[in-house]
Amino acid sequence: MKDTTATNGGDLHAMMLDMKRTFDEVVLTHTDPRRAEEIFANPFYQAMSSTFSGTQEYMAMEKLGQLRARDEWDLIVVDTPPSRSALDFLDAPARLGRFLDGRMLRLFLAPARAGGKSVFSMVTASFGMFSRVLAKVIGGQLLSDLSGFVAALDSMFGGFRERAEQTYRILQAPETAFLVVAVPEPDAIREAGYFAGRLARERMPLHGLILNRVHAVAAPGLSAQESLAAAEVLAAAGDRTTADALRVHAALMRQVARETAVAAEFTREHPGVPVAPVPAQPADVHDLDGLREIGTGLAS
């Protein structure tokens, strides 16, 4: 976690999710030390906690729940990837529930719940045949690792689901605010519209669209056509500097018109969602002073 102190007081803490560390913390919190060591040593856990698809979204939900439970922060901001990837974060509780309720998982849990026998033991004739076939397909050692992993985590599965669902309810709560950020480009606005529709269906509070890197002109009353016409006259008279400036103004006017038309598509589809433009900055924002400039632009 990185801390930045503002010149006028207050702190901004930034953290990037460490997926494996978060998973390890969950295991240590919800199991006894002996069981935790068994889980950490399991090859399947080592792979799942670092690389398996979907684990990052589960752990992001866990970390958000942890931060919220500590009650130390005035505001928690979750910055997700572009909207289609952000939906994986919203889908994590449901996906986890389907995984925990899956038939395959119940088959692996059956031997452990029947007395801790190996996955290859004959709990039933049909399961024994199934395990032998599966062992030939994926390998006996991997099947053993998977069975041991599932048995070791059995006591934690209910807690996973409960905490994920609780965090999901927090995302639907009135004190939560979703802000969709998009640049005024067609693809980005379509993504923003898709995400806004999903939030509406999930009854999650969408508070606005932040239209980022919006361009503006100092002389909006001078159209692109007038600028180009004047540029031709001035260039013929030998004033190339002013003519070039007018051409730049004409190009910027066209860009502003395109951005305005693209943003209007979102407004038509979601008329009740406020749109707040953020002017394009001359340099990347990397400190609190830069954030204040953006905040001033949003407030105005």
The arithmetic mean of pLDDT across residues 103-111, rounded, is 54
SS (H, E, C) the chain: CEEEECCCCCEEEECCCCHHHHHHHHHHHHCCHHHHHHHHHCHHHHHHCCCCCCHHHHHHHHHHHHHHHHCCCCCCCCCCCCHHHHHHHHHHHHHHHHHHCCHHHHHHHHHHHCCCCCCCCCCCHHHHHHHHHHHHHHCHHHHHHHHHHHHHHHHHHHHHHHHHHHHHHHHCCCCCCEEEEECCCHHHHHHHHHHHHHHHHCCCCEEEEEEEEECCCCCCCCCHHHHHHHHHHHHHCCCHHHHHHHHHHHHHHHHHHHHHHHHHHHHHHCCCCCEEEEECCCCCCCCHHHHHHHHHHHHC
How much is the pLDDT for 34? 85
The arithmetic mean of pLDDT across residues 224-242, rounded, is 94
Mean of all residue pLDDT scores within the chain: 78
Name all domains of the chain by residue range, CATH numbers in brackets.
13-174 (no CATH), 177-300 (3.40.50.300)
How much is the pLDDT for 149? 65
Report whether pLDDT(42) > 60: yes
Least confident of 108-122, 172-186, 254-268: 108-122
Report whether pLDDT(121) > 90: no
Report whether pLDDT(263) > 90: yes
How much is the pLDDT for 31? 81
Alpha-carbon distance of 159 to 161, in angstroms, equals 5
**pTM greater than 0.75 (yes/no):** no
Least confident of 148-162, 170-184, 210-224: 148-162
Q: Which residues contact 92 (CB under 8 A, 6 or more apart)?
A: 54, 57, 58, 60, 61, 164
How much is the pLDDT for 27? 84
Nearest to 146 by CA among 62, 24, 52: 52
Asked if residue 259 lies in contact with residue 215, where contact means CB atoms within 8 angstroms, the answer is: yes
How much is the pLDDT for 234? 94
Could you tell me which residue, 237 or 296, shows the higher pLDDT?
Answer: 237
Express as a percent the part of the chain with pLDDT over 70.
72
Highest-confidence range of 125-129, 146-150, 163-167, 261-265, by mean pLDDT?
261-265
Quick one: pLDDT band at residue 207, thresholds 50, 70, 90? Answer: very high
The arithmetic mean of pLDDT across residues 160-171, rounded, is 80
Quick one: pLDDT band at residue 85, thresholds 50, 70, 90? Answer: low
How much is the pLDDT for 96? 65
